[in-house]
Amino acid sequence: MGTETKSQTTTAQKFQALILDIFFGIYFVVTLHRVFYYQVLLSLRKLPPVTVEIVLLYIGIGTILGLALFVLNASPGKLIFRQLPDIPWKKAVAEHFLWIIGVLTIATGWVVTRVSILDFFSQEGLAGAKRIFSALLSPEWSILPQALLAIVETIYLALMATLFALPVAFILSFFTARNLMRQSPITLGIYTVLRVLVNFTRSIEPLIWAIIFTVWVGIGPFAGTLALMVHTIASLTKLYSEQIENVDPGPIEAIEATGAHPMQVIWFAVVPQIVLPFLSFTIYRWDINVRMATIIGLVGGGGIGTLLMQYQGLAQWHEVGLLVLIIAIVVWIMDYLSARIREALV
Amino acid sequence: MALIELRKLNKIYPNGVHALVDVDLTVQEGEFLVVIGLSGSGKSTLLRCINRLIEPTSGQILYRGQDVTHIQGKDLRQYRKKIGMIFQQFNLIKRRTVLLNVLTGALGSLPVLPSILERFPDNLRQEAMEKLRIVGLEDKWNVRVDALSGGQQQRVAIARSLMQHPEVLLADEPVASLDPATSHSVMKYLKQLNTDYGMTIICNLHFLSLVRTYGTRVVALKQGKLIFQGKPEEITQEWFKEIYGEEAEEVEIA
């Protein structure tokens, strides 16, 4: 039975290696042609249009290339999954192919993000940089009261988002902890659905949630709070449940062996192990939320970010300078405090 | 009537490991039974099947003649109360005091809500102090257990199990993470419970020298099968090689 499962996993791994090879093949052909040939060799500003024929051609050539490498055992996919037979020259081919892919990727990145040393050091550009930095460095102090009020709003916004998220995440975390949920197919189903939901929610940035909620409840701090809350629930649930998955099962056995009720087992054997990490994660999250809350204001989520957006729109850089200064100080203080508190806890 | 009787007990884990194979075992009241065998021979599984921390795949567990193989809920908790257990890693609540850890031994007889609020009756606190006196730790009652040495932690674990008024004590490698001197001190406490209180002890051990000093009867497991039952002195060189493999050499614990 042991050998059977082993051969099964290698078949699966072989398949993965093949998929990877085909992907590398297509990726190689596309980047070589469109980036290296057109933009580096020919320095074209405007690329020829992508047609269906050319896409099919890319896929075709790339697949043949990937298959060839796979069959000839010079396969970068097999190299990555450590199933390449030990033949030096074939290994060298696979390794060099991966290096070329790496270089092509950096070249593509360079082209796509339009890195331009010329723009960075141009006369005009440097003058602009000088203008904005000198303005930022001489902040306009007259708007201090307004700015302080806004940052207080931001801190409370972050606090409320964290506090609202906490109980929801706490309860959800028990249902998304694999060690507690693998007992029956039903609980495992609940676990899987919740896990997918949580991961999906978490992968959407708070900024995008803020845009959604400004449409839903209108522009203002409430939209910002909701956006942060949703994201915080998702990420705290993940952190909490990972902590629950890591609890030492020993005390659970010991308390079960005394004839204790399941509630007593959770209270005396699980909770003491998770309460401090939970607290630590929560404070850390509040700290992150203050930082995020300043950004969320940019899309109308309230707080100091909204103020920043207004002054930036009017190109009043001295006022912007003060706001940036205050954000920096508050974020630094929060960062320091949360680190100290977490140190004291663990 | 035998205290514990295991009939054709089998345990197959989900990963396919056959940890117990048709184990038949009878434990009489008042015995100090030692279970020996290599790591992975099924000793821990056997112990955990007795108090049903692990569910056997097939077979029967009888306690004083009553079938406890499939009892659930309140019955199971009542049954577990009669069987104390201590562990290689002590399994205490690390950040709490010695006294609270001992009190958790009584959870099986306490209503859920008051116990969660940690309202333990005074007589229970006094009893916990008495148990601490038995293991010689009464002056440490207010110390956090993670500040204690390994041997002291194991004695706290013994005191905790005593709060259950157990008829049987299961000891899963109780001295495997302790130094030789501390090992003897812990084993002496177990022996004392056996002789002075008539408590039945079932103990997994690594060291044969400890087996000879403390056990009244020995059983040996090999790859999940019970291959030896007898008196400690009946383990000859041949049996030793059979149980631990040809390569094994016996080491003495001081």
Span B156-167, average pLDDT: 94
Q: Using a CB–CB cutoff of 8 Å, tell me whether B206 touches chain A.
A: no
In the predicted model, what is the mean pLDDT of chain A?
A: 86
Q: What is the DSSP annotation of A142-167?
A: GGHHHHHHHHHHHHHHHHHHHHHHHH
pLDDT score recorded for residue A346: 65
Cα A212 from Cα A216, distance rounded (Å): 6
Task: Answer yes or no: do B160 and A254 touch at CB < 8 A.
Answer: yes
- A258 contacts on B by Cβ (under 8 Å): 80-81, 84, 104-108, 160-161, 163-164
pLDDT score recorded for residue A317: 87
What's the DSSP call for residue A47? P
Dihedral angle computed from the Cα positions of residues A214, A217, A222 and A228, in that order, rounded to the nearest 10 degrees: -60
From B77's Cα to the closest Cα of chain A, the distance in A is 4
Cα B187 from Cα A280, distance rounded (Å): 40
From A18's Cα to the closest Cα of chain B, the distance in A is 29
Cα A227 from Cα A239, distance rounded (Å): 19
C-alpha pair distances (Å), A321 with each of A146, A288, A309, A334: 14, 22, 12, 20
pLDDT score recorded for residue A337: 87
The residue among A271, A285, A267 whose CA lies nearest residue A342 is: A285
Span A151-171, average pLDDT: 90
From A3's Cα to the closest Cα of chain B, the distance in A is 13
Q: Is the pLDDT of residue B163 over 90?
A: yes
Q: Is the pLDDT of residue A183 over 80?
A: no
Q: Is the CB of residue B215 less than 8 Å from the CB of residue B194?
A: no
pLDDT score recorded for residue B254: 53
Cα A195 from Cα A192, distance rounded (Å): 5
| Residues linked to residue A313 through DSSP beta bridges, in sequence order | none
Question: pLDDT category, A7, cuts 50, 70, 90?
Answer: very low
- The tokens describing A171, both together, are 């309860």
Q: Where are the alpha helices (DSSP H) in A83-122?
A: 88-112, 117-121
Task: Answer yes or no: do A258 and B112 touch at CB < 8 A.
Answer: no
Q: Is the pLDDT of residue A2 over 60?
A: no
Task: Answer yes or no: do A261 and B112 touch at CB < 8 A.
Answer: yes
Mark which residues 28-67 of B lie under 8 Å from A by CB.
48, 51, 53
Cα B149 from Cα B154, distance rounded (Å): 9
Domains and CATH numbers, chain A: 2-115 (no CATH), 140-345 (1.10.3720.10)
Task: Answer yes or no: do B107 and A272 touch at CB < 8 A.
Answer: no
Domain B1-82+216-254 of CATH type 3.40.30.10: no
Express each pLDDT in A41-70 by its tens digit: 887 777 788 888 889 999 999 999 999 988
Express each pLDDT in B76-92 by its tens digit: 999 999 999 999 999 99
Measured between CA atoms, the residue of chain B closest to residue A345 is B95
In the predicted model, what is the mean pLDDT of chain B?
A: 90
Q: Which residue has the higher pLDDT, B87 or A83?
A: B87
Q: Is the pLDDT of residue A315 over 60?
A: yes
What's the DSSP call for residue B229? E
Q: Is the CB of residue A247 less than 8 Å from the CB of residue A273?
A: yes
Task: Answer yes or no: do A257 and B79 touch at CB < 8 A.
Answer: no
pLDDT score recorded for residue A102: 92
Q: Using a CB–CB cutoff of 8 Å, tell me whether B83 touches chain A.
A: yes
Q: Is the CB of residue A77 less than 8 Å from the CB of residue A19?
A: yes
pLDDT score recorded for residue A59: 92
Question: pLDDT category, B50, cuts 50, 70, 90?
Answer: very high
Task: Answer yes or no: do B53 and A254 touch at CB < 8 A.
Answer: no
Across the interface, which of A250, A251, A264 has its CB nearest the CB of B112? A264
Q: Where are the domains of chain B?
A: 1-82+216-254
Residue B45 has a CB neighbour count (10 Å cut-off) of 21
Across the interface, which of B91, B93, B108 has its CB nearest the CB of A260? B108
Question: pLDDT category, A301, cuts 50, 70, 90?
Answer: confident
Where in A198-255 does DSSP place strands (E)?
Answer: none
Lowest mean pLDDT: which of A34-48, A229-243, B131-145?
A34-48
Q: What is the DSSP annotation of A209-244?
A: HHHHHHHHH-SSHHHHHHHHHHHHHHHHHHHHHHHH
| Residues linked to residue A283 through DSSP beta bridges, in sequence order | none
How far from chain centre, in Å, is Cα A14?
A: 30
Phi-psi region of B22 (alpha: psi -120 to 50; beta: other; left: phi over 0): left
Q: Using a CB–CB cutoff of 8 Å, tell me whether B155 touches chain A.
A: no
Length of chain A: 346
Q: Is the CB of residue A160 less than 8 Å from the CB of residue A301?
A: no
Q: Is the pLDDT of residue A228 over 70?
A: yes
Q: Is the pLDDT of residue A202 over 60?
A: yes
Place of tokens 């019955």: B75
Lowest mean pLDDT: which of A30-34, B28-32, B46-50, B85-89?
A30-34
pLDDT score recorded for residue A238: 94
Q: Is the pLDDT of residue B223 over 70?
A: yes
C-alpha pair distances (Å), A191 with each of A178, A196, A278, A317, B14: 7, 9, 20, 50, 20
